């Protein structure tokens, strides 16, 4: 099981927008906002378990995410903006009114043992 | 894709009868996307280099010589030569539009990135017609900016505490107000703080009295002290909707809902507050 440091960028996804119409408590929405997209080489290096779960940590907090590989730069991770990503955000805005939603230093580590699904921790 | 099809790339116009064939689409992003795959030119940049990139474009547009930069030198992860080509393309077009979103305004530099982009657009207008359009995420985000701007002169982060509007993002914006624990009660309308704010800001909101006007069940409805269900705007209530290009559109009510609109709920609250202030018994 591997781990690595990188930069987190929060995004919006079209799947998130579509799932929102089914409700923010729908399984589809909750799964999408906990889905982290990363480069295929990074994905392989993490040696993720069957459920592709990983722990993502920032200076503000930590969350469990489900990883998926997609074309993109190495060391940059993408997570939809939502209740899961919010745990990783610092409320400091540096006088701009906007917290750092993008460019957040994070550490990701594969979760050794596959767990039961439990999104309630992040709702 | 609807934006590309209906407005930005494929739409046919008076001077663009061939639609997409008459346009040049350039996408600047940190990773490939469905939009970049439909572009003529895709420039994959390194995150956080927005200000540097726009500043270099400004200097190129102004015809400045950039000492120390060779054709293959990297600026924001892309060869300087490609920025030179883009600057020439922007100057030569008949009518250019930069569509930008939170990738620019929420990355390092934030409002300064937007200011630098505005400067670039102003300077490009010495050569050709150029616009910048802010892309909003949700429906009618522009509407609140428009109404606040014509009522107070400021588009957001407006404080009425002294009886007149004061504007200062970073001081009167929601996350900063919550971080300083200044608000001791909150009226939340048409947004879901649980989905949009840092968790520590949400935790503070949970600790103060909250009144929430919202048509749908979401993470905020689970903890708000008072939830007033309202009719969804544009479906159960009519009104003015501002499109992203600042065009106001009148929306009619489509169906009746058994709950009030945002306007009716707010009017009801206001009338009750005024009645209590006059010392009359509550209804």
Give the CATH architecture of domain B2-134.
3-Layer(aba) Sandwich (3.40)
Which pLDDT score, from 0 to 100, does residue A122 have?
A: 45
Q: Determine the residue among A14, A18, A24 to mutate to test chain B binding: the one whose Cβ has the most chain B Cβ atoms within 10 Å.
A: A24
B213-251 tens-digit pLDDT = 999 999 999 999 999 999 999 999 999 999 988 999 999
| A113 interface with B at CB cutoff 8 Å | no
DSSP B107-128: STTTHHHHHHHHHHHHHHTTTS
Every domain of chain B and the residues it spans: 2-134, 141-277
Nearest CA to B226 out of B268, B188, B174, B275 is that of: B188
For residue A123, tell me if it sits in a domain: no
Which pLDDT score, from 0 to 100, does residue A113 have?
A: 66
- Give how far B217 is from chain A: nearest CA, Å: 7
Average pLDDT over residues B257-279: 96
pLDDT for A123 beyond 60: no
B94-150 tens-digit pLDDT = 999 999 999 999 999 999 999 999 999 999 999 999 999 999 877 888 999 999 999
Q: Which positions in chain A touch B194 (Cβ < 8 Å)?
A: 83, 86, 123
pLDDT for A81 beyond 70: yes
B162-221 tens-digit pLDDT = 999 999 999 999 999 999 999 999 999 999 999 999 999 999 999 999 999 999 999 999
Residues 6+ apart with CB under 8 A from B20: B9, B10
pLDDT band at B282 (very low <50, low <70, confident <90, very high): low
From the list A25, A90, A103, the residue facing B107 with the nearest CB is: A103
The CATH number covering residue A90 comes to 2.40.40.20
Average pLDDT over residues A55-72: 97
Which pLDDT score, from 0 to 100, does residue A121 have?
A: 46
Range(s) of the domain holding residue A46: 3-115
DSSP B46: P
| A69 interface with B at CB cutoff 8 Å | no
From the list A76, A89, A101, the residue facing B102 with the nearest CB is: A101
Question: Do residues A99 and A91 touch, judged by C-beta distance below 8 A?
Answer: yes
Question: Do residues B61 and B127 touch, judged by C-beta distance below 8 A?
Answer: yes
pLDDT band at B2 (very low <50, low <70, confident <90, very high): confident
A12-44 tens-digit pLDDT = 998 999 999 899 999 999 999 999 999 999 999
Which pLDDT score, from 0 to 100, does residue B193 have?
A: 96
Q: What angle do CA A78, A80, A82 make, to 5 degrees?
A: 140
pLDDT band at B281 (very low <50, low <70, confident <90, very high): low
B145-159 tens-digit pLDDT = 999 999 999 999 999
Which pLDDT score, from 0 to 100, does residue A114 have?
A: 53
Which pLDDT score, from 0 to 100, does residue B283 have?
A: 59
| A50 interface with B at CB cutoff 8 Å | no
B67-101 tens-digit pLDDT = 999 999 999 999 999 999 999 999 999 999 999 99
Q: How far is CA B169 from CA B117, B143, B158, in A?
A: 19, 18, 8
Total tally of structural domains belonging to chain A: 1
ipTM summary value: 0.90
3.40.50.150, 3.40.50.720, 3.90.700.10, 3.40.50.740: CATH of B141-277 = 3.40.50.740
Q: How far is CA B67 from CA B62, B80, B81, B138, in A?
A: 15, 12, 14, 43
């Amino acid at each position: 099981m591997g781990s690595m440091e990188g930069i987190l960028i929060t995004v919006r996804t079209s799947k998130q927008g579509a799932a929102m119409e089914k409700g923010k408590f729908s399984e589809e929405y909750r799964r999408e906002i906990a889905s982290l997209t990363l480069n295929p080489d990074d994905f392989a290096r993490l040696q993720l378990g069957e459920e592709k779960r990983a722990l993502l940590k920032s200076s503000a907090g930590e969350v469990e995410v489900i990883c998926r590989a997609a074309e993109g730069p190495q060391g940059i991770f993408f997570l939809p903006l939502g209740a899961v990503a919010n745990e990783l955000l610092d409320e400091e805005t540096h006088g701009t009114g906007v917290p750092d939603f993008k460019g957040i230093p994070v550490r990701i580590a594969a979760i050794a043992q596959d767990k039961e699904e439990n999104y309630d921790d992040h709702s | 894709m609807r934006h590309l099809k209906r407005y930005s790339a494929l739409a046919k116009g008076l001077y663009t009868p061939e639609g997409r064939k008459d346009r040049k689409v350039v996408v600047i992003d940190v990773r490939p996307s469905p939009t970049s795959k439909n572009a003529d030119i895709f420039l994959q940049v390194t995150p956080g280099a927005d200000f540097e990139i726009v500043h270099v474009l400004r200097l190129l547009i102004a015809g400045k010589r950039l000492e120390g930069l060779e054709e293959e030198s990297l600026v924001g992860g892309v060869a300087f030569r490609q920025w030179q080509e883009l600057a020439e393309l922007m100057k030569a077009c008949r009518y250019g539009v930069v569509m930008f979103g939170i990738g620019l305004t929420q990355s390092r530099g934030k409002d300064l990135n937007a200011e630098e982009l505005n400067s670039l657009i102003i300077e490009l207008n010495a050569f050709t017609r150029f616009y910048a359009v802010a892309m909003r995420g949700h429906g009618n985000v522009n509407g609140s900016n428009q109404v606040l701007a014509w009522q107070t002169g400021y588009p957001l982060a407006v404080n009425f505490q002294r009886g007149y509007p004061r504007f200062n993002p970073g001081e009167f914006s929601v996350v900063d107000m919550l971080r300083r624990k200044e608000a001791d009660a909150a009226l939340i309308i048409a947004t879901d703080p649980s989905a949009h704010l840092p968790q520590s800001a949400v935790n503070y909101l949970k600790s103060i009295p909250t009144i929430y006007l919202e048509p749908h069940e979401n993470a905020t409805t689970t903890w708000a002290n008072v939830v007033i269900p309202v009719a969804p705007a544009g479906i159960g209530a009519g009104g003015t909707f501002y499109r992203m290009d600042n065009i106001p559109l009148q929306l009619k009510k489509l169906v009746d809902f058994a709950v009030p609109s945002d306007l009716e709920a707010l009017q009801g609250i206001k009338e009750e507050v005024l009645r209590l202030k006059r010392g009359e018994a509550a209804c």
